[in-house]
Amino acid sequence: MQNPYLPYPVRIDKITNATEDKSLKTYKFVFLDPDDERKFAYKAGQFAELSVTGKGEIPIGIASSPTEKGYVTFTVNRVGLVSSYLHTMKEGDIMGLRGPMGNSYPWDALEGKNVVIIGGGFAFTTLRSSIVYMLDPANRSKFKDIHVVYGARSPGMLLYRDELTKWEERDDINMHITVDGTDDPDWKYNVGFVPTITEQKAPAGNDDTYAIICGPPVMIKFTQPVLDKLGYTHDRIIMSLENRMKCGIGMCGRCNIGKEFVCKDGPVFTLSQLNETPREY
Amino acid sequence: MKVIKIDKQDFTSGIEKLADSYRLFGPVKEKESYAFQKLEKGQLPDFNFKNTRLSIKSVINPQSEVMFEYSLDEKQTDHHVMKEAKKDYSPRAIFGVRPCDGKSMVLVKPNFDTLEYKDNYWLDSYNCTTFVGLACNDPCSTCFCTSAGSGPFDETGLDVLLIDMDDYYIAKAVTSKGEALLSAASWDTAGTLDDVEDKKSKAEKKIKTSVSIDNIKDRSINEIHQASFWEDIAFSCINCGTCTYVCPTCWCFDIQDENSGKSGVRMRNWDSCMFPLFTMHGTGHNPRGEKTQRVRQRFMHKLKYYLDKYDQGIQCVGCGRCIQSCPVNIDIRRVCNIMNDYNYE
Amino acid sequence: MIGYIDKIKEISKGLLEEKKVDMIIGFRKGTVPMINEPCVAKTSADVDNFVWDSSCGINLANYLTGRKEKIGIIAKGCDSRNIVNHIIENKINREQLTIIGVPCKGMVDRSKVKALVSSDIEEVIEKEDTMVISGADFEKTVKTSDVISKNCTICMHRNPVIFDELVAEEVDEQKDVNRYEDIDKIEAMDSGEKWNYFEDMFKSCIRCYACRNACPLCYCPTCFVDESKPQWVGKSQDPIDIWTFHFLRAYHCAGRCTDCGACVRACPMDIDVRLLTKKLEKDCFEMFNWEAGLSIDKRPPLDVFNADDPDGFIK
């Protein structure tokens, strides 16, 4: 019987600052036992428990794409005990990784459809994974139009900026990058909040179009009416939730929203599913 | 399955025999109350108890349990790598398990034994155990097991049910595991269940309170969640963990790393939905930050979410421990009946 | 004491009807014997559910913390002292409160009563000075004063120290009681005996925090045991962590504890937690001539510095 609490040992291969204020760092992990990488087969939208030995575990969305081999990456905001300690760790340090956990974005349902990705702030990690996955030459033909609305407070707070720029240059993805405000005269993308840009740039909702939305509660609060207006039905609006978690496998009891566990039955839900729950998140 | 008659003096010698092949646990008197403890050599389970203050959860799923060990010393090979902690899962028998506690195992198991994941700590501990029940001839005034899907003579979840017939015990094997224990104890005199039915109906008649869930079943989660009675139910709650800790069917836990110098252990500890910390995000945001939300969570989990999720009744066996121990007299029977009888229109 | 209820209801209804308060905090009949449940009345009809007897031990001051409404509250001597604490510590404003004072002769100790009989108590009927306890096969009458909580037996402030209404004439305050008998016994132990005594005392603690949460003094937004940055105390059943919690909590109550007994009453494991706070209460009494919660005009001893504060501990 495999112990579901036993993390795979990993080495921190590379640490990069992900935002200009250094509150987020991106960690690239390599499995000590290459066999573990095979066991850690994941889909875009899943998460894992980063296990910092001696401090504890934190659930973090997987930022790398299943199409990227040899490593996994996570972008971690410095918030609590474990994430703060993780920010002090160095390349080469040994820790653990437990997962992958949770469901993923509904890739079967998304196949053959237009995909509109709407993200705000730090909640772009599993969206990055999804974009890289969809843009992979082996996968791109499976999807129709791809739109991405992604916003942050300022240019320096956008995650994965180099990649965003490269995606902007492609013609098989429609990028709508935005910032709340900037004094950079060379900023050539949008200025405005995510809901506004979504209203201006996102395609209208129909049976063939899904919106995936991740972001801070305030962004979601104001984007949802926009999607309603654009004609997205609630079963075509896909959200990824965060709740405090420990076990990550639906057993320790804390992350539930009604009878569903965010860690195991989620973190990805359609808005129609969420409407049936007490929405305690 | 076998029905055995055990004379009370043979009971003692049987227990002595079992000590060779089982780790024995049973109720032991501690000051004014009873607790399940490991029985020392020659020690007998003390059956002069109504019920133990903590359920057999304290044995199967102990309050603090080491999961892994690790070294933080970079001079060691395998530093920072989790190692499985050594455990003793040799055969164990728990005597004096009240039927409500036996039933609780059946309710808790689906949480730890799922299609996708198996919680090895809970399952190994459960699987190595033979549950020797003791029927309740004399239930407490707070018992309501008969309306919570169990009963004073319920065999569900037990391997053997002992019935105290005053001068002797009747032991009814419920599973082959139970039969094996009876043989190992050399309890082999055939008995009959002739007089048991009478004891059983007498015991059931002593249970005077009940809960109803028919209406809870038919209502949607959100209807009950948004009902107006929660403020009143929650007012007196002080948000301690007593109800959840004494409950045989509350399984929630926390995972913590505890370091001592250059080594440490990853362990799990009972946790409680009554504590704000249980759900607090790293950012300080708390989906159940208010007392009323936490009280509602506990009762909704037990009486609605579980009911809907597993289709095997409520997550409560009617043992009444939370009623006896609640420092402010929040009574699950009252709450359940309010939830059931409320006019949801 | 059982005769108070009519007056309590009369005053409560008057306050609600005249809209002097938004709510009244009192007790409704418990579902099990010897414990009534704190509740809120917002209408006269709610007030009809109020009860008063010797099973109203829970300290209602605990329900005031940070509330914004205008509140009527029923207060025994100890509750009233904790209300004073709350006012001093800015947890409630005096102006928000209408205190319905109840002179008290002590509240029943459930475990004392349970220990008197061998089977389950199903009903307790309270008479003027006695209680009739009954179960399936027995009925027994006990003197209420014989089964009141330990802290009530040595209580020096049975009458409310602050109130707006009083439901009955004041009761006589107790004289000639040895308030510190239990503490004297522990103080007389050598360190080894003390170690064993406390080790045994906390053996059954399950860290449910009922003692802390029942205590009107324990209102910290985040208790030190729940802090994670830094984490002061481990979370397991390690005895050192358990003792650390209890000892530190007690110290945090020094100069504030009214010995209301809420902690002991709440403990599901029958741990006599108040022995710790009682020792500190004794020290405060002996060193500063201080008893907590007697006046809203006096600052507690640990809040102020006086040149003649005892300094014998500086060696």
Question: What is the fold, at CATH topology level, of the domain defined by A8-100?
Answer: Elongation Factor Tu (Ef-tu); domain 3 (2.40.30)
pLDDT of the residue at C237: 95
Which residue in C has a C-alpha nearest to residue B53's C-alpha?
C269
The reply to whether C312 falls in a domain is: no
* Residues C290, C189 share a domain: yes
Write down which residue in C169, C197, C217 finishes a domain.
Answer: C169
Write down which residue in C169, C192, C219 finishes a domain.
Answer: C169
For B119, the closest of A79, A251, A276 (CB atoms) is A251
Residue positions counted in chain B: 345
A41 — pLDDT class (breaks 50, 70, 90): very high
The reply to whether C112 falls in a domain is: no
DSSP-assigned beta bridge partners for residue C246: none
Q: What are phi and psi of C278, to 5 degrees?
A: -65, -40
Q: Which amino acid is at A68?
A: E
* Residues C82, C44 share a domain: yes
Which residue in B has a C-alpha nearest to residue C223's C-alpha?
B277
Please tell me the distance in Å from B240's CA to the nearest CA on chain C: 5
* Residues C243, C158 share a domain: no
DSSP-assigned beta bridge partners for residue A269: A239
Inter-chain residue contact C228 with A84, CB threshold 8 Å: no
Interface of A with C (CB under 8 A): 80-81, 84
Q: For B23-56, write each residue's pLDDT tens digit.
A: 999 999 998 899 999 999 999 999 999 999 999 9
* Residues C295, C207 share a domain: yes
Please tell me the distance in Å from B36's CA to the nearest CA on chain A: 24
Going along B83-157, which residue ranges are E strands? 83-84, 92-97, 129-134
Which residue in A has a C-alpha nearest to residue B251's C-alpha?
A252
Q: Kindly provide the b/e burial profile for residues C43-72, where b requires at least 16 CB atoms within 10 angstroms of the residue's own CB.
A: eeebbeebbbbbbbbbbbbbbbeebeebbb
Asked if residue B17 lies in contact with residue B183, where contact means CB atoms within 8 angstroms, the answer is: no
pLDDT of the residue at A216: 87
The reply to whether C50 falls in a domain is: yes
C239 touches chain B (CB under 8 A): no
pLDDT of the residue at B290: 96
Residue C111, burial from CB neighbour count under 10 angstroms (0-12, 13-18, 19+)? middle
Query: Rounded to 10 degrees, what is the CA torsion of B178, B180, B183, B188?
Result: 40
Q: Is the model's pLDDT at C297 over the cut of 90?
A: yes
* Residues C287, C182 share a domain: yes
CA A157 remoteness from chain centre: 16
CA–CA separation, B336 and B329 (whole Å): 14
Q: Is the model's pLDDT at A2 over the cut of 80?
A: yes
Q: For B101-152, write each residue's pLDDT tens digit.
A: 999 999 999 999 999 999 999 999 999 999 999 999 999 999 999 999 999 9
Mean pLDDT across chain B: 96
C236 touches chain A (CB under 8 A): no
Q: Is the model's pLDDT at C247 over the cut of 70?
A: yes
**Residues in chain B closer than 8 A to A258 (CB atoms):** 221-222, 225, 300, 305
How many domains, chain C? Answer: 2
Asked if residue B81 lies in contact with residue B70, where contact means CB atoms within 8 angstroms, the answer is: yes
Q: Rounded mean pLDDT of A221-226?
A: 94
Q: Is the model's pLDDT at A1 over the cut of 80?
A: no
Q: For C175-205, write each residue's pLDDT tens digit.
A: 989 999 999 999 999 999 999 999 999 999 9
Q: Is the model's pLDDT at A227 over the cut of 90?
A: yes
Does a cis peptide bond (omega within 30 degrees of 0) precede residue A59?
no
Measuring CA to CA, how many Å separate C299 from each of A76, B36, C3? 47, 48, 36
Q: Range of C164's domain?
A: 1-106+154-169
Q: Is the model's pLDDT at C2 over the cut of 80?
A: no
* Residues C86, C9 share a domain: yes
Q: Which CATH class is domain A107-240?
A: alpha beta
B315 — pLDDT class (breaks 50, 70, 90): very high
* Residues C85, C228 share a domain: no
The reply to whether C113 falls in a domain is: no
Q: Is the model's pLDDT at C208 over the cut of 70?
A: yes
pLDDT of the residue at B31: 85
Please tell me the distance in Å from B200's CA to the nearest CA on chain C: 17
Q: Rounded mean pLDDT of A2-17?
A: 96
**Residues in chain A closer than 8 A to B305 (CB atoms):** 256, 258-259
The structural domains of chain A, with segments of one domain joined by +, span 8-100, 107-240
The SS3 of residue B333 is helix
For C120, the closest of B35, B141, B232 (CB atoms) is B141
Which residue in B has a C-alpha nearest to residue A262's C-alpha?
B279
State ipTM: 0.95
Q: For B231-288, write each residue's pLDDT tens digit.
A: 999 999 999 999 999 999 999 999 999 999 999 999 999 999 999 999 999 888 999 9
Please state whether beta strands A8-17 and A94-101 pair in parallel, antiparallel, or not at all (unpaired).
Answer: antiparallel
Cβ-Cβ contacts under 8 Å for C40 (sequence gap 6 or more): B232, B235, C23, C24, C25, C46
Inter-chain residue contact B269 with C206, CB threshold 8 Å: no
Q: For A94-123, write each residue's pLDDT tens digit.
A: 999 999 999 999 999 999 999 999 999 999
Pick from B282, C278, B255: which is nearest to A122 by CA? B282
Q: What are phi and psi of A138, to 5 degrees?
A: -70, -20
Inter-chain residue contact A94 with B80, CB threshold 8 Å: yes
* Residues C163, C45 share a domain: yes
CA–CA separation, B11 and B16 (whole Å): 9
Which residue in A has a C-alpha nearest to residue C230's C-alpha?
A81
Please state whether beta strands C23-32 and C35-41 pair in parallel, antiparallel, or not at all (unpaired).
Answer: antiparallel
Q: What are phi and psi of A199, to 5 degrees?
A: -60, -40
Q: Rounded mean pLDDT of B178-197?
A: 95
Q: What are phi and psi of A271, to 5 degrees?
A: -60, -35
* Residues C160, C70 share a domain: yes
* Residues C17, C160 share a domain: yes
CA–CA separation, B254 and A40 (whole Å): 24
* Residues C237, C290 share a domain: yes
pLDDT of the residue at A143: 97
The reply to whether C133 falls in a domain is: no
Measuring CA to CA, how many Å separate C223 from each of A133, C109, C209, C259? 45, 28, 10, 21
The SS3 of residue C98 is strand
Q: Rounded mean pLDDT of C66-72?
A: 97
Cβ-Cβ contacts under 8 Å for B143 (sequence gap 6 or more): B100, B136, B152, B207, B209, B318, B319, B320
Q: For C39-55, write each residue's pLDDT tens digit.
A: 999 999 999 999 999 99
CA–CA separation, B184 and A62 (whole Å): 53
* Residues C298, C241 share a domain: yes
Does a cis peptide bond (omega within 30 degrees of 0) precede residue B110?
no
Q: Which of left, alpha, beta for A195 (phi over 0: left; psi -120 to 50: alpha)?
A: alpha
Q: Rounded mean pLDDT of A270-274?
A: 96
Inter-chain residue contact B279 with A254, CB threshold 8 Å: yes
pLDDT of the residue at B283: 87
Residue positions counted in chain C: 315
- The percentage of residues in chain C with a pLDDT greater than 90, rounded to a whole number, is 91
Q: Rounded mean pLDDT of C57-72?
A: 97
Residues 285-304 of B with CB under 8 A from C: none
Please tell me the distance in Å from B8's CA to the nearest CA on chain C: 22
